[in-house]
């Protein structure tokens, strides 16, 4: 173990060291090693680093190190471009803060009612994580106080600009600049790219910010093999299906440009027999959470997504990325293929191209210094009997963190009371109001009977197979 990259060298408080050890975090990523000394020293930084580089943990350790748990008003505010990323960031902070008694993390995201969020803020919140629109809503209603915020984080700032949130970002930063803590507040900015707009924000709203660009160590870089298949444009769905049965992949994301394409392709693949779901902006928050939970727990093998909906997702081990069409620009292409080949695993990224798109892909390859092997789709055939089905199916439970339900409670009920073999149960994920259980088909009836006939923590919870 390299002492240079060890968390132990940082001098963190005992509660954070214990949480890191419990989560098996021992070595910093390159991004964390580059950022954390300055973050812990209270300096403003602007960090350019790829998605999946461990930046969340970097800023979370910094803000948690100076939290006063008994203070009522929020001391840290994190702004994220999407609801999913905000929820993931909030969950990561809760994990790190689990030994910090009574520390409260509140998520302020759209698609959820404001009432419960207002109640949570009234009861006291140490850390607030939210999306630009909903943060602005609460500021406008005076339900979110900024006067004690000593750490402000812009996470995936470039994506917020792409999504048209520049005004919201600047309004929040202006409001922060009017508080008594403005002169000492720490502002941390993280971005996968560093365009001129980000540079302007850094100069205008940060104090002598240190610019940190994390260059990926080529020896440590994930290996992403890139391929392109020449197709007739009207045969894109058949091409995707053929590639899926050819590669027999457990976990695939297919990127589409529009919501309509996403809906149509996910429906068509599902009708062909694939366990496929769509992720796009027309879904309600509860639907989006369910889709992500099922893809994450491997009960759905194909996620068809728009770029906006999939930005910021932290999903372990995506084996294959398919670009339904060539990306609009280099940054989008980079973010798409970066979903695979994470955590030093090998990944495969395939782009479908018709004759009109080939020059665009060549331009992307040249500007990113990438080798993209071109193949003809005629070499791949769809085989209905080779559709890879997930090892598990999914049970949804109408109860979650608000009911004090934990994965261990569910696992204990299923293995000890229902006598389901532990090997039949996969990942158990819990959101505020729901739990999702990956379980083998042969044990579904026993699991549903357990929820129907018995109580967990003194309560009965409705459950159903999805």
Q: Are residues 165 and 285 in the same domain?
A: no
Residues 206 and 353 in one domain: no
Query: Is 160 found in the same domain as 274?
Result: no
Q: Are residues 145 and 165 in the same domain?
A: yes
Considering the domain architecture, whether residues 45 and 127 belong to the same structural domain is answered as yes
Domain of 440, in residue numbers: 393-465
Kindly state whether residue 398 falls inside one of the protein's structural domains. yes
User: Does residue 375 fall inside a structural domain?
Assistant: yes
Q: Are residues 316 and 419 in the same domain?
A: no
Q: Can you list the alpha helix ranges (DSSP code H) found in 250-306?
A: 259-272, 285-296
Condensed to tens digits (0 to 9), the pLDDT of residues 76-116 reads: 999 998 888 898 899 999 999 999 988 999 999 987 889 99
Q: What is the dihedral of CA 267, 273, 276, 278, to 10 degrees?
A: 0
3-class DSSP assignment, residue 217: coil
Express each pLDDT in 137-171 by its tens digit. 999 999 999 999 999 999 999 888 877 788 899 99
- For 318-335, give the secondary structure using H, E and C: ECEEEECCCCCCHHHHHH
Q: Helical H runs in 375-443?
A: 407-412
pLDDT at 312: 61
pLDDT at 221: 46
Instruction: Please list the residues that pair with 303 across neighbouring strands.
Output: 253, 277
What is the side-by-side order of every strand in the sheet holding 435-439?
A: 425-430, 435-439, 393-397, 463-465
Q: Residue 459 has what DSSP assignment?
A: B
Pairing of strands 435-439, 425-430: antiparallel
The domain boundary, picked from 361, 386, 411, lies at 386
Question: Do 161 and 20 share a domain, yes or no?
Answer: yes
Is 395 in contact with 365 (CB distance < 8 Å)? no
Tally of domains within the chain = 3
Residue where one domain finishes, among candidates 369, 386, 403: 386
276's CB contacts (< 8 A; 6+ apart) are 266, 269, 270, 300, 301, 302, 303, 304
Per-residue model confidence (pLDDT) at position 309: 64
Residue 441, domain CATH: 3.30.70.330
Distance CA 269, CA 272 (A): 5
pLDDT value at residue 349: 95
Does a structural domain hold residue 218?
no
- Specify whether 229 is located in the same domain as 133: no
pLDDT at 361: 94
Contacts of 278 (CB under 8 A, 6+ apart): 262, 263, 265, 266, 267, 291, 303, 304, 305
Do residue 318 and residue 207 come from a single domain? no
Q: What are phi and psi of 341, to 5 degrees?
A: 65, 35
Let me know if residue 219 belongs to a domain.
Answer: no
367 and 231 co-located in one domain: yes
Do 91 and 240 fall within a single domain?
A: no
Q: Is residue 369 part of a domain?
A: yes
Q: Return the SS3 of 316.
A: coil
The distance from CA 384 to its chain's CA centroid, rounded to whole angstroms, is 32
Task: Identify whether 382 is part of a domain.
Answer: yes
Q: What is the pLDDT of residue 338?
A: 84
What is the rounded CA–CA span in Å between residue 108 and residue 86?
A: 8
Question: Which CATH number characterizes residue 202's domain?
Answer: 3.40.50.300
Q: Is residue 374 domain-resident?
A: yes
Q: Give the strand pairing for 276-279 and 347-353.
A: unpaired
User: How high is the pLDDT of residue 402?
Assistant: 87
Give the tokens for residue 229: 């298949």
Based on the fold, state whether residues 382 and 399 are members of the same structural domain: no
Q: Among 183, 213, 243, where does a domain finish?
A: 213
**Which residue ranges in the chain fall short of pLDDT 50?**
1, 217-221
Is 404 contained in some domain?
A: yes
């Amino acid at each position: 173990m390299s002492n240079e990259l060890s968390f132990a060298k940082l001098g963190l408080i005992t509660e954070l060291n214990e949480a890191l050890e419990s989560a098996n975090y021992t070595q910093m990523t390159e991004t964390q090693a580059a950022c954390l000394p300055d973050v812990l020293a209270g300096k403003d930084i602007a960090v350019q680093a790829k998605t999946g580089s461990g930046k969340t943990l970097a800023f979370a350790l910094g803000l948690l190190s100076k939290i006063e748990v008994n203070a009522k008003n929020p001391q840290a505010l994190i702004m994220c471009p999407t609801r999913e990323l905000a929820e993931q960031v909030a969950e990561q902070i809760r994990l790190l803060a689990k030994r910090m008694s009574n520390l409260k993390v509140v998520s302020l995201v759209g698609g959820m009612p404001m009432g419960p969020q207002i109640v949570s803020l009234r009861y006291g919140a140490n850390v607030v994580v939210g999306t630009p629109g909903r943060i602005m809503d609460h500021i406008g209603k005076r339900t979110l106080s900024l006067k004690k915020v000593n750490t402000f984080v812009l996470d995936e700032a470039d994506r917020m600009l792409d999504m048209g949130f520049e005004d919201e970002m600047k309004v929040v930063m202006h409001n922060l600049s009017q508080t008594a803590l403005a002169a000492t507040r720490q502002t941390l900015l993280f971005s996968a790219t560093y365009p001129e707009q980000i540079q302007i924000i850094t100069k205008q709203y940060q104090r002598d910010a240190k610019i940190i660009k994390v260059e990926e160590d080529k020896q440590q870089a994930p290996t992403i093999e890139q391929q392109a298949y020449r197709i007739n444009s009207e045969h894109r769905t058949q091409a995707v299906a053929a590639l899926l049965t050819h590669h027999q992949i457990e976990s695939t994301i297919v990127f589409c440009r529009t919501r309509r394409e996403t809906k149509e392709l996910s429906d068509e693949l599902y009708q062909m027999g694939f366990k496929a779901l769509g992720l796009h902006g027309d879904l309600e928050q509860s639907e989006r959470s369910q889709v992500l939970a099922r893809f994450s727990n491997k009960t759905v093998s194909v996620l068809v997504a728009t770029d906006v909906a999939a930005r910021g997702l932290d999903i372990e081990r995506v084996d294959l990325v398919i670009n339904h069409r060539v990306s609009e620009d280099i940054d989008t292409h980079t973010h798409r293929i970066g979903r695979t080949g994470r955590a030093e695993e090998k990944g495969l990224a395939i782009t479908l191209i018709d004759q009109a798109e080939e020059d665009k892909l060549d331009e992307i390859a040249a500007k990113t210094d990438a080798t993209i092997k071109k193949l003809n789709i005629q070499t791949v055939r769809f085989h209905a009997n080779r559709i890879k089905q997930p090892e598990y199916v999914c049970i949804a439970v109408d109860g979650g963190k608000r009911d004090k339900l934990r994965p261990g409670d569910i696992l204990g009920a299923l293995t000890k009371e229902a006598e389901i073999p532990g090997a039949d149960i996969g990942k158990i994920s819990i959101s505020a109001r729901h739990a999702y259980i990956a379980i083998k088909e042969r044990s579904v009836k026993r699991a549903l009977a357990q929820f129907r006939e018995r109580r967990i923590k003194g309560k009965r919870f409705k459950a159903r197979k999805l």
